[in-house]
Structure 1
Amino acid sequence: MLILDHPYVSEFLKNTAAELQIPVLKNEMAAELKTEKKLNLLEEAEFIELIKEKGECTLYSNSENSVGWISEKLGFTGLPKKIELFKNKVKFRELLQRLYPELYFKSVKFEELDEIRVEEIEKPFIIKPAVGFFSLGVHKVSTSEEWDSVLKSIKAEVEEIKKLYPASVLNVENFIIEGNIEGDEFAVDAYFNREGKPVVLNIFKHIFSSENDVSDRIYFTSKKVIETYREAIEDLLNEIGKLAGLRNFPLHLELRIAEDRRIQPIELNPMRFAGLCVTDIAYFAYGINTYRYFMEQLEPDWDKVLADKEGKSFCLVMLSKSEDLNLKDVKSFNYEKLLSDFEKPLELRKADHEKRGYFGYMFTETRDSNWSEIERILKSDLKEYITFKEVVPAISVLKNKKE
């Protein structure tokens, strides 16, 4: 069963829902979607009743905007408690304390950030909203001297975040400070099946332009990434599943893996795979429809899936703005020029930057021998694709008024 909600439903997801005739909650977003084959829309009461009849069912939501509805209407399923356990990063850390007793973390209210004695906290540390999405509001603090600048940035971001996202998705009333987890960062789309077994559907490696970069510009998946880390990630998911009693549960896990192969979870996002439907890259890369695999309890045959993927990486390029860019100054974004800078763009998904705060994202297939195209976009501020609005000099404005 599916709950489709704002801010974005991909063509791939809605066509999958229509093709498989998966029951979809008839909410505002679902009712507006256009597909060649009609969606199997159910009124709210009918949708809830079907879940009661099924008992445990495969319920997926593309967006954390639906968390409030699930908490209000589906308390009888036990899902709201599990969602809160993972959605709240403080509760997640408390759950994992027995596995990672050495990891420092502390909850702090937004209005108390000015009172933090930053010199007493071991560095580097990460500060971020306790309930968050993507890397919004996330900052790394390496020295006490950086704190004033970071605090100023957090306060500015909080004002923007409140305009763009509901509190169920990104709540900036509470923050978590936690010790910096060393190692390369990865993201995982997976689900627990009806027996409680974890099934990995994709693994992304998240790369950064610098030590202090916390943006989401580039994630990529490849044969090497899957083969190197899948078994270790499955072992970790087994441990988490036992602690939380998970079955029929889709998730998006973010973690770091150190040089000694020790895995440390960063956060686990419940009820969905990678946000904004970027999980669709699994289909472009490996032919894996993550929604169908969860709904039908399918498992990838990785030996077959990866057989012809040697020497290729499949990249997600997030077209997020640079920190110094005011989106109100942007007139247009040159997507055609962007596409021409990559050897094999797979799909481009545009976004209204004024409403969404970013320009969209794209999937690419890149040969290892041409990795320079990814290095370039990783470090780009995207201004080479932006046309800015003309600024009318104040003198001209005054002159026109007099005339």
Structure 2
Amino acid sequence: MILLDKPYVSQFLKDTITKYNFSALDTGNIIEDGEIALIKPEAIIQQFEHEPNSRLYTNSENSINWVSTHLAFTKLPEYIKLFKNKIEFRKLIKSIYPNFFFKEVSLQDLDHINLEDLPMPFIIKPTVGFLSLGVHKVVNKEEWLKVKQDIHKEFSNAKSLFPIEVINASSFIIEEVIAGNEFAFDAYFDEKGEAVVLGITQHLFASEKDVSDRVYFTSKELIQTYLPQFTLFVKSLGKQADIKNFPVHIEVRVDHKGKLIPIEVNPMRFGGWCTTADLTHLAMSLNPYHCFLKNIKPDWEQILNDMDDEIYSLIILDNSTGISSGNIAQFDYEKLLKQFSNPLELRKIDYKTYPIFGMLYTKSEKSKFREIEEILVSNLREFVTEK
């Protein structure tokens, strides 16, 4: 069963629901009449009453409140809290990473923090958050003053876009900077608690201070390199959490020595806005939604054998122009597409409502990866016309 909610449902997910006749509930009034067949809330509640091992996926964390309200008798709210709250997650894995520094602080206490008590540099982010909202890297005292101002500004805007279950500015986690390359991957735990990895992406950054979500990519070489290590980590996480029939989106870093340290685990979904799961399908014709809901374990040997050697990228066109959306007359999507050798799919987003112009999926030969590196560092002003 699938819960559908704002801000975005991809056509691929809609087609998956129709093709496999999955039960779907619209919890955010995002599906147009007749677009796909929908069920009533009572059907999902009754299903879990009769079969506790039922599986539920949501495309958006906006649905968390619905789950907490209507499925409180299941394990789902417990699983969600464990992963959604970054402090609870750090406590969960403290025995695995006993020397990792983290500290919880309230919004009101930001001005009273003694920097001498913290590792410098450090990362600060909301205890309950989404995308990169409120995530900052602090490298010195002067920058800390600016970061505090930015946090207050960001969350005054975010409160109108996302429910408190998705982003909560009342509490923040401060933690040590994790060195190494960053990765995001989708997985699920089956009815026995066994872990199944469904796709791997690498998260690229424009600089050491960059914390944005601009570029993620996947490839045959990437999956071959990291699938064994990431599978072992998810297995250990599953045993630690004792979790079953549950999908997750996991972010980790791997340092130059090959040591893996988790950043966070996002509950009940794969990549937000129907991103990483759809990228996996474009790259290797694997449908993660279908795999989770039908308990299918990918045949990675066959999948990798059939994959080409090109690089598949997801480009999140966040508004990094420095221009407020209200002062933007248009975004030139056609000009954007001409920057890439093989654009696969463009998803336009209402940038007047959300701080994103759209999302672009591309396919690149290794020799042309420069086009991805260029969009990574672009502020996108060349595509914008001001009023």
| Range class of TM-score, shorter chain | over 0.9
Q: 1:396 maps to what in 2? A: none
Distance 1:316 1:28 in 2: 25
Matched with 1:175 is 172
- Residues 306-345 of structure 1 show CA distances to partners (whole Å, capped at 9, x for unaligned) of 2254531100000001172322211100101111110111
Q: 1:100 aligns with which of 97, 101, 123?
A: 97
Distance 1:154 1:91, change over 3 A: same
**Matching residue within 147, 150, 154 for 2:147:** 150
- CA distance in 1 between counterparts of 2:327 and 2:378 reads 18
Distance in 2 of aligned mates of 1:386 and 1:323: 8
Aligned to 1:394: none
The Cα shift of 1:155 comes to: 1.3
Give percent identity, aligned residues only: 44
Q: Which residue of structure 2 lines up, in the alignment, with residue 54 of structure 1?
A: 51
What residue identity is the alignment partner of 2:86?
A: K
Matched to 1:361, the amino acid is M
1:82 lines up with 2:101 in the alignment: no
TM-score by length of 2: 0.97
Aligned residue identity for 1:22: F
Say if 1:105 and 1:176, in contact at 8 Å, map to a contact too. yes
Letter in 1 for 2:125: K
TM-fit CA distance, 1:34: 4.5
Which residue of structure 1 aligns with residue 369 of structure 2? 371
Q: Hey, what's the Cα distance between the residues in 2 that align with 1:180 and 1:34?
A: 48
Identify the residue that residue 336 of structure 2 maps to in structure 1: 338
2:321·2:381 contact (CA, 8 Å) conserved in 1? no
Instruction: Please state whether the residue corresponding to 2:5 is helix, strand or coil.
Output: coil
Shift, 1:165, TM fit: 1.1
1:384 Cα deviation after fit = 0.7
Q: CA deviation digits over 1:362-382, x for unaligned, max 9?
A: 110011000110111001000
Structure 2 counterpart of 1:386, one-letter code: V
**Structure number with higher helix proportion:** 1
Q: Does 1:2 align with 2:8?
A: no
CA RMSD of aligned residues (A): 1.3
Are 1:139 and 2:163 an aligned pair?
Answer: no
Alpha-carbon contact 2:6-2:30 (below 8 Å) kept = no
1:208-232 deviation digits (Å, cap 9, x = unpaired): 1110000000000011110111111
1:13-54 Cα distance to aligned partner (Å, 9 max, x none): 11111221111125343653643xx42x22112221122112
- Where do 5+ consecutive residues of structure 2 fail to align? none
Task: Give yes or no for contact 1:119–1:144 (8 Å, CA) kept in 2.
Answer: no
Give the aligned residue type for 1:206: H
- For 1:359, the aligned partner's letter is F
Give the paired residue count.
Answer: 386
Structure 1: where are the runs of 5+ without partners? 390-403
Quote the Cα distance in structure 2 between the aligned partners of 1:153 and 1:229: 35
Distance in 1 of aligned mates of 2:335 and 2:258:
40
Give the counterpart of 1:129 among 126, 129, 150: 126
Q: Tell me if the contact between 1:90 and 1:176 (Cα under 8 Å) persists in the aligned partners.
A: yes
When Rg is computed on C-alpha atoms for both structures, the one with the higher figure is 1
SS in 2 for 1:90: helix
How far is the alpha carbon of 1:300 from its aligned partner?
1.7
| Offset, 1:303 | 2.2
